Amino acid sequence: MSGQGPSLDKSMNTTLVCQESYACGGSDEASFECDECGSLQCTRCELELHRQERMRNHDRVRVAPGHIPFCDSCKGGGGCSRLRAAVRCQGCKINLCSDCQKRTHSGANKRKHPLTLYPPPKATQDGALADAVDEMEAIKAQVEKVCSFLLVDDREEMQVKNEEDFVSRLGCRPDELLKVVSIFGNTGEGKSHTLNHTFFLGREVFKTSPTQESCTVGVWAAMDPVHRVVVIDTEGLLGAGANQGQRTRLLLKVLAVSDLVIYRTHADRLHDDLFKFLGDASDAYLKHFTRELKATTARCGLDVPLSTLGPAVVIFHETVHTKLLGSDKPPESAERLLQERFRKLGLFPEAFSSVQYRGTRTYNPPTDFSGLLHTLEQQLDNNTTRSPRTAGVIHKALQALSECFSGDITDEHLASNCFFPDEYFTCSSICLSCGCSCKNSMNHLKEETEHDTAHRCRYSAQYDNRIYTCKACYEGGKEVIVVPKTTASSDSPWFGLAIYAWSGYVIECPNCAVIYRSRQYWYGNQDPVDTVVRTEIQHIWPGSDGFLKDNNNAAQRLLDGVNYISQSVSELSVKPAKAVTSWLTDQIAPAYWKPNSLILGFCGACSSKSRPVPERGWGLAPVRVCDQCFHNRGIPTELLDAALEEEEGGTLMARRVGEAVQSTLGAVVGAIDIPLGLVKDAARPAYWVPDQDIHACCECRRQFCPRLSIHHCRACGQGVCDECSSDRRAVPSRGWDHPVRICNACSQKPGEL
């Protein structure tokens, strides 16, 4: 009907959309108002329109919540004051105040133009504006109190030692649920500046500097009081300084505990380094960090499980002279172009929950960070893959990763084409036999996890890295390791040595008893591998005790026994205590000798000569005599008669036998001491530390000397003193089935040695 009024659209009461439809199709949210264009514009349209030379100097303002544009009809003309628009004519594509709308659209043709109403200025709006101003002032006051603090230094050492300190420095409640936002990028790209203007209203919470030196060393953290997130600033890539490997590894630890990651780049074009960094970080996260995060969850008993899916990534790209990604190809999204670039480089960032692109083109500073903040807010509100958790959980996760992945990184790994090579996170131990590296994470030995590798080892005669398992037990479903030994556990020490000399070494299974003797038959003895045992080649790792292949301790066992005999002989041949000496001498002295308790004997100087004394029954062999008797060769008849009686009574014979025994035992000791010293080192079992390498007791650290003898622990082979090895236990794993000397440390170990 001709009287029909204009159609009114009230959708703009809540959201302002782009009025240009130049690059976005009219669906994007308005971000700018250009007075000279007379329209509201989204980010893409504003960029494409004003890249033209004739429109480059247009005055534009940022659209804020509740923004109302100016009237295009009365602006600066006809003496009218500059008023805010009340409606937007979609047919004429102009903004009109109430008066101009009545004046210009009262005719029949324009009366039917669709109009969009702007919210009228009401008193309630004035009150809301006042409330917004008060709220902004309150936010500014909160931001003024925020200070950043060093969380981890460039040596990967945690500077916040416990959860309570972390909560205190953040200024949050212990039970408050938080998310973590971190930033990465090359040095000098303005990472700290980006965080300051995105989260802290431009205040320098994170230090910035115009100098060439990097102002951010290590990892710094602060609490955003508005969005209630933990904001983490990191050290830039490609910087100059020491510990580059450790600094790069530290970045991945921060990424692992983050919910949202900003990759900041100021290059006019996206470089391959960006995609390489994110691709390598994704691979390292999936290979090393997901397993450790799961272990941390189980070990610490965290109430909020840590997601195995990595954080969301936002690539914040600022350009000056070039177009933003996807700006000239509206049908293709920027994210799709990113995925295509990853694919061409052979990289797949599968660990990240999403990878988004947010660009801004800065014609004239300052940089616009509102689009980045809007994207971050959308991601922070999404709890589908990453749930918020308490500050204590965040600290536990970062501390666990710091303890697991730590240690120096050699320079040879820095030349790798990969940002995060496996050597940054895996154990540095290498098998001494085959040269393969351990595949477990760093410091896995602290969790009592053994070395492991995916490659099979090769046999080395130097390390003899074969192990034997009982064939009968294996066929019965059990795997029992057996070792060649000198004697069986049921044999006594000396009898076992005799059997060893006759029948050779023995292989004994705890379940099947003795299953093999090397010389059991006169001929035709088969190799144990062909009959009773299975063999397997195992890796030999640095610092390990080697393998339990002990068929060479028979010599040491024999020496231990000979040492025991020689000590006993020495005790008989060494001069006893005075009382024992007198008693023994009196018992075997001839009848004509005066007891030691009644006389004083001759000293050595006065009885240095010797001659035969047949008249006393000593035969024709020279014996010790005093100087007076040596010169007095006359022997009375009564003395000869007495000598004959002594010989017949046998008392002189006892003395002669006693002296002969003492002389013989002394010779035995001298004969034993010499070969013992010569063969001791040759008889040493392979796992014993050589005497020349032992300088102090491994227990009490006292220096060995002639008064402090070296003893070997039969379990670990270390050198100890007698006081630190007083316990005696059997060590079957080393072939000692009977109680032998062990050190105090091995004595305290539970179970069988």
**HEC profile of 355-369:** EEEEEEECCCCCCCC
DSSP H helices in 318-437: 334-344, 370-380, 391-404
Q: For residue 614, what are its two tokens?
A: 């047949």
Whether residues 244 and 359 fall in one domain: yes
Confidence of residue 263 (pLDDT cuts 50, 70, 90): very high
Residue 520 resides in a domain: no
Whether residues 667 and 732 fall in one domain: no
pLDDT at 77 over 50: no
pLDDT at 2 over 80: no
Share of the chain above pLDDT 70, in %: 68
CATH number at residue 727: 3.30.40.10
CATH number at residue 250: 3.40.50.300
Q: What is the mean pLDDT of residues 543-572?
A: 50
Whether residues 270 and 371 fall in one domain: yes
Whether residues 200 and 223 fall in one domain: yes
Please state which of the ranges 92-101, 468-477, 696-705 shows the lowest mean pLDDT.
92-101
Looking at residue 159, what is its pLDDT?
92
Looking at residue 260, what is its pLDDT?
94
Looking at residue 668, what is its pLDDT?
44
Largest CA distance in the chain: 179
Residue 573 resides in a domain: yes
Residue 319 resides in a domain: yes
Domain's final residue, options 679, 710, 725: 679
Residue 612 resides in a domain: yes
Nearest to 382 by CA among 459, 318, 281, 307: 307
Whether residues 175 and 223 fall in one domain: yes
Whether residues 113 and 163 fall in one domain: no
Whether residues 356 and 373 fall in one domain: yes
Let me know: does 550 contact 483? Beta carbons within 8 Å. Answer: yes
Taking CA atoms, 192 is separated from 154, 236, 239, in Å, by 17, 10, 15
Looking at residue 224, what is its pLDDT?
93
Let me know how long the chain is.
Answer: 753
pLDDT digits (tens, 9 = 90+) for 487-517: 777 776 656 666 666 667 788 888 888 888 8
Separation between Cα atoms, residue 746 and residue 714, nearest integer Å = 9
Whether residues 163 and 301 fall in one domain: yes
Looking at residue 376, what is its pLDDT?
92
Looking at residue 229, what is its pLDDT?
94
Let me know: does 320 contact 359? Beta carbons within 8 Å. Answer: no
**Cα 17–21–27 angle (5° rounding)?**
45
Confidence of residue 682 (pLDDT cuts 50, 70, 90): low
Domain's final residue, options 409, 436, 456: 409
Whether residues 672 and 694 fall in one domain: no
Q: 127: Cβ–Cβ under 8 A, 6 or more apart, which residues?
A: none
Looking at residue 223, what is its pLDDT?
95
Residue 504 resides in a domain: no
Q: What is the mean pLDDT of residues 376-391?
A: 86
Whether residues 565 and 630 fall in one domain: yes
Count CB atoms within 10 A of the CB of residue 697. Answer: 22
Looking at residue 592, what is its pLDDT?
60
315 φ/ψ angles, rounded to the nearest 5 degrees: -85, 110
Residue 334 resides in a domain: yes
* Mean pLDDT, the chain, integer: 75
575 φ/ψ angles, rounded to the nearest 5 degrees: -60, 120
Whether residues 249 and 365 fall in one domain: yes
Q: What is the mean pLDDT of residues 613-624?
A: 70
Q: What is the mean pLDDT of residues 446-470?
A: 78
pLDDT at 230 over 90: yes
- Among 2-6, 14-18, 637-641, top mean pLDDT goes to 14-18
- Domain count of the chain? 4
Residue 480 resides in a domain: no
pLDDT digits (tens, 9 = 90+) for 518-539: 777 666 667 787 688 888 888 8
Separation between Cα atoms, residue 652 and residue 644, nearest integer Å = 10
Confidence of residue 591 (pLDDT cuts 50, 70, 90): low
Looking at residue 565, what is its pLDDT?
44
pLDDT at 436 over 90: no
Q: What is the mean pLDDT of residues 634-638?
A: 55
Domain's final residue, options 635, 662, 679: 679
Whether residues 675 and 695 fall in one domain: no
Q: Residue 236 carries which side chain, given as an amino acid letter?
A: G
Residue 377 resides in a domain: yes
Separation between Cα atoms, residue 603 and residue 608, nearest integer Å = 9
Give the domain extent around 742: 685-747
Separation between Cα atoms, residue 129 and residue 132, nearest integer Å = 5
